[in-house]
Amino acid sequence: QKTIKNAPGSNYAFYNESIREQMFREIHIADRMGSALAAGEFIVYFQPKVSPYTGEIEAAEALVRWKTSEGKMIMPGEFIPVFEKEHLIGRLDQYVFECVCAWQRRLLDEGRMVLPVSVNVSRLQFCNADFVETYAAIKKRYQLPAGLLEIEFTESVLYDNWERLTSIVDELHAAGFTCSIDDFGKGYSSLGMFKNLNVDVLKIDALFFQQLEQEEKDQLLVNSIIQLVRQFGVKTVAEGIETQKQVDMLKEMHCDFIQGYVYYKPLPQKGYERLLLQSSPQTVKEIMEACAI
């Protein structure tokens, strides 16, 4: 839905109250970011990635939420686009990354099990020449071994400059990170990129699964994507999976991991930690209920 309409024959834009409100809101959000960061209002949630073959949690994705001082929870869909527009997103991405590193360090120090965690990196980080260096330095500071951290790039990054992405992926590998392509299929996807791009994981967007059960064409498409990238040694994650039937179909297609409400919603750190410590279905249910947002 367009917010500004040019009426035929007129040369002025139609501007209404809701646009004004939206603008105020955006300015307010952007203004508050620095103080919110300092006040620890950004909170990292973790959504497990599960093997559909064993039902075990294999890894997680870090997803940010903003809990304001008034106790209101703001979802990333509301503030990430504003931070991107204002070029503030790099600081937040880095903050989330550092929270994840600190957490993994603590678990290692406590002798606990540590599974890989992926973090989102906005495409604007590509403008930052020190991006890999900065992330590698943080990882090194926390002395985290290779294989525990994954960087998720959105597909739209590719169209900006995918030669640069190729070299960034190589540098990240050298620094002990794994790399994934996020939201595959949401934009102008091309399987051709796998010829040159050395990524480890492909995250297939939820869009492909909405009609998976009914639409044979979607099944053919998803199956072909998975089979093709597997031959390049790329693992697959199916995103936004909500039903057991979808899980069963994806298992037949040899999809490696499932990330979706069918297994777990994103959980706060404490809830995720508790989940990793135990395995009784009853306790899992209780944790999920306690963490429901």
Dihedral sign of CA atoms 226, 230, 236, 242 in order: positive
User: Given the rule CB under 5 A, which of 120-128, 143-151, 249-257, 260-268 is the region that contacts Ca ion?
Assistant: 120-128
Choice from 93, 150, 155, 256 touching ligand C2E (CB under 6 A):
93
93 binds Ca ion (CB under 5 A): no
Residue 2 to residues 8, 15, 27, 34, 230, Cα–Cα distance (Å): 15, 11, 20, 31, 40
Q: Minimum CB separation from ligand C2E for residue 260, in Å?
A: 3
Residue 170 burial by Cβ neighbours in a 10 Å radius (0-12, 13-18, 19+): middle
Beta strands in 13-121 (DSSP E): 42-50, 57-67, 73-74, 117-121
Choice from 41, 86, 218, 242 touching ligand C2E (CB under 6 A):
242
104 binds Ca ion (CB under 5 A): no
Nearer to Ca ion, 103 or 209 (CB): 209
The site string for ligand C2E over 5-44 (x = CB under 6 A, - otherwise) reads ----------------------------------------
159 binds ligand C2E (CB under 6 A): no
183 binds Ca ion (CB under 5 A): yes
Residue 235 to residues 120, 155, 226, 232, Cα–Cα distance (Å): 18, 16, 8, 9
120 binds Ca ion (CB under 5 A): yes
Choice from 183, 225, 236, 255 touching ligand C2E (CB under 6 A):
183
Nearer to ligand C2E, 117 or 195 (CB): 117
Choice from 48, 52, 185, 266 touching ligand C2E (CB under 6 A):
266
122 binds ligand C2E (CB under 6 A): yes
**CA–CA distance, 114 with 97 (Å, rounded to integer):** 15
178 binds Ca ion (CB under 5 A): no
User: Given the rule CB under 6 A, which of 73-81, 100-108, 213-221, 245-253 is the region that contacts ligand C2E?
Assistant: 73-81
The answer to whether 222 and 212 have CB atoms below 8 angstroms apart is: yes
Residue 223 to residues 52, 217, 219, 229, 272, Cα–Cα distance (Å): 16, 10, 6, 10, 31
**CA–CA distance, 60 with 237 (Å, rounded to integer):** 11
Which candidate, 143, 142, 117, places its Cα nearest to that of 48?
A: 117
Residues forming the site for ligand C2E (CB under 6 A): 47, 63-64, 75-77, 80, 89, 93, 96, 120, 122, 182-183, 239-242, 259-261, 266
